[in-house]
Structure 1
Amino acid sequence: MSLESDVADLWQRYDDGLTAADTDQDDRAVLERFLEALEAGEIRAAEPDGEDWVVNEWVKQGILLNFGLRETEAREYGGVTYHDVLPLRATGDLGHRGTRNTPDGTVIRRGAYVGSDAIMMSPSFVNIGAHVGDGTLVDSCDTVGSCAQIGANVKLGANTLIGGVLEPVEDDPVIVEDNVSLGAGCRVTSGFRVGENSIVGENTLLTPRIPVYDLVEEEVIFGELPADRRAFTRFVESSVGEHDLFDGGAFKPAVVATHVEEETLEASEKEDILRDN
């Protein structure tokens, strides 16, 4: 049987009431094989399909099974005891592929994939099911949430939060496509998709609930920043009128997107210097 069919069988039994105490050696072997496949990049929670993305619901189910069918245990990391159902990911393979992870707080949970020639600065955290592509920089104080899909040659600026979307299993995770640069303090949540080659200014919030004013196509869109855009936060007038608590109307956050300018691209290429030192 394939890994997908094994997970489907285990999911059905879990739905019928299977608990961690009921699992046998074969069940636990399926859970381990599943995590190993995630870490090797052989399976993904979502993957590109032409110009679109497809969610692999069975992969999300496998992640949920690893929470539901494991017991919380005391574990050690950096001399500190913590309690979790999963250990941290072994990182012995990273150096062989040219990937760097600095000490004192670089945490990769089991079931996470980190590509070749990537850089993880401490403190940073990559959660189960996340996929971090080749040549990507995960900077200090960054979080990559469960199932988030980060492309190749992406720069996540310091203190960037990439949200996790694990449930419902059919929902899109956060997707950041190839060659994207997110400025320090950005937040990308709730299945938002950032198109390739885009550059996003510092402290920009990208979520389906905030409109994107795309000045290139002259339209307002939600849940996506198209490819080849330069985006930044602006505040637009809200429907909330004058109130006793404040003078004048209220404003709400929005995102403005324009063409990526050539000089902006040239500036972003300076990141290569960091990788060579």
Structure 2
Amino acid sequence: MTLESDIENLWQRYQDDTGTDAVGSAAQSTLDAFLEGLETGEIRAAEQIGDSGPDAWEVNEWVKRGILLNFGLRETEAREYGGVSYYDVLPLRSTTDLGGRGTRNTPDGTAIRRGAYLGSDCIMMSPSFVNIGAHVGDGTLVDSCDTVGSCAQLGENVKLGANTLIGGVLEPVEDAPVIIEDGVSLGAGCRVTSGFHVGENTVVGENTLLTPRIPVYDLVTDEVVYGHLPANRRAFTRYVESSLSDHDLFESGAYKPAVVALDIAEDTLDNTRREEALRE
């Protein structure tokens, strides 16, 4: 039996029993082993199977089911973190393994939930939060007031500016989570939600909202795309005319947010490299 088959069997029992009666000592061991697999990076909610782009990623539905089982089959307990009492089904993740990999999390508010993975040479600035199922690649910076949602997949050498939100996508289990590929830099205040995919080496301007409902005007290919920002782009928010402009209530016209993507300039890359040097 594999961990995947154990989770699938437990999921079926849970669906049939519709309650915590499906939990026994063996089931508890399966849930614990599952969380450990997420924390070591041996299992992931989504995996890259190609070079780049949304089609290069595959969702592991059984992993999402395992996360849902941990919520459905565990009891809420009183816990404590930093002198504050709270109630949850899971404790925070142990951080004793991080130092050996050169990863650091600053005090006073860096919270990593059980089932989250942080790679080598990562930095978590306080306050920040990484949720269950999230995968944070080597060399990635999670800055102050950042949130990395459940199952989000962050590549290597990603930079999240302060006050950035990476949304979580846990259900439906077949839906892809938010994916940020290697070398991406997100400016302060960005929001990436609803399974949006950001291609590698892209630099996104501050306060940009990336969600499948907002169009991306890719001026490199002269296309309008949704849910995906191609690789090697420089992107920022602009406003374009809305069809509501024809309505009588909008005498001066109506506008909606859009994302404009340009070919990334070498000087932008140089600025990113200078930022990297400051962290070394």
User: TM-score, normalised on structure 1?
Assistant: 0.98
Report the counterpart of residue 106 of structure 2 in structure 1: 102
Count of residue pairs the alignment pairs up? 276
Q: What is the CA–CA distance in structure 2 between the aligned matches of 1:147 and 1:225, rounded to whole Å?
A: 19
Q: What is the CA–CA distance in structure 1 between the aligned matches of 2:107 and 2:172, rounded to whole Å?
A: 34
Report the counterpart of residue 201 of structure 2 in structure 1: 197
1:127 to 123, 128, 131: 131
Q: Work out whether residues 109 and 128 of structure 1, in 8 Å CA contact, stay in contact via their aligned partners in 2.
A: yes
Q: What is the CA–CA distance in structure 1 between the aligned matches of 2:114 and 2:273, rounded to whole Å?
A: 32
**In percent, how many aligned pairs have the same letter?**
74
1:213-252 residue CA offsets vs partner (Å, 9 max, x unmatched): 0000000000000000000000000011365655321100
Q: How does 1:17-96 map to 2 (within 5 A)?
A: 17-51=17-51, 52-96=56-100
Q: How many Å apart are 1:18 and its aligned residue?
A: 4.7
Q: Which runs of 5+ in 1 are unaligned?
A: none
Report the counterpart of residue 235 of structure 2 in structure 1: 231
1:187 aligns with 2:191: yes
Q: Work out whether residues 242 and 248 of structure 1, in 8 Å CA contact, stay in contact via their aligned partners in 2.
A: no
Q: What is the CA–CA distance in structure 2 between the aligned matches of 1:176 and 1:46, rounded to whole Å?
A: 12
The DSSP-based 3-state class of the residue aligned with 2:220 is coil
Structure 1 outlier segments of 4+, above 4 Å: 242-246
Q: What is the CA–CA distance in structure 2 between the aligned matches of 1:54 and 1:243, rounded to whole Å?
A: 43
The DSSP-based 3-state class of the residue aligned with 1:255 is strand
Q: What is the CA–CA distance in structure 1 between the aligned matches of 2:16 and 2:186, rounded to whole Å?
A: 43
Q: How many Å apart are 1:23 and its aligned residue?
A: 1.3
Q: Work out whether residues 13 and 22 of structure 2, in 8 Å CA contact, stay in contact via their aligned partners in 1.
A: no
Q: What is the CA–CA distance in structure 1 between the aligned matches of 2:260 and 2:18, rounded to whole Å?
A: 49
1:141 aligns with 2:145: yes
Q: How many Å apart are 1:41 and its aligned residue?
A: 0.1
Q: What is the CA–CA distance in structure 2 between the aligned matches of 1:159 and 1:219, rounded to whole Å?
A: 30
1:155 aligns with 2:159: yes
Q: How many Å apart are 1:21 and its aligned residue?
A: 4.6
Q: What is the CA–CA distance in structure 1 between the aligned matches of 2:165 and 2:22, rounded to whole Å?
A: 37
Q: What is the CA–CA distance in structure 2 between the aligned matches of 1:155 and 1:12, rounded to whole Å?
A: 39
Q: Which runs of 5+ in 2 are unaligned?
A: none
Report the counterpart of residue 251 of structure 1 in structure 2: 255
Q: What is the CA–CA distance in structure 1 between the aligned matches of 2:132 and 2:214, rounded to whole Å?
A: 27
Letter of the 1:238 counterpart: S
Q: What is the CA–CA distance in structure 2 between the aligned matches of 1:42 and 1:5, rounded to whole Å?
A: 15
| Cα RMSD (Å) | 1.1
Q: How many Å apart are 1:24 and its aligned residue?
A: 1.0
Report the counterpart of residue 220 of structure 2 in structure 1: 216
The DSSP-based 3-state class of the residue aligned with 1:36 is helix
Q: What is the CA–CA distance in structure 2 between the aligned matches of 1:274 and 1:87, rounded to whole Å?
A: 34
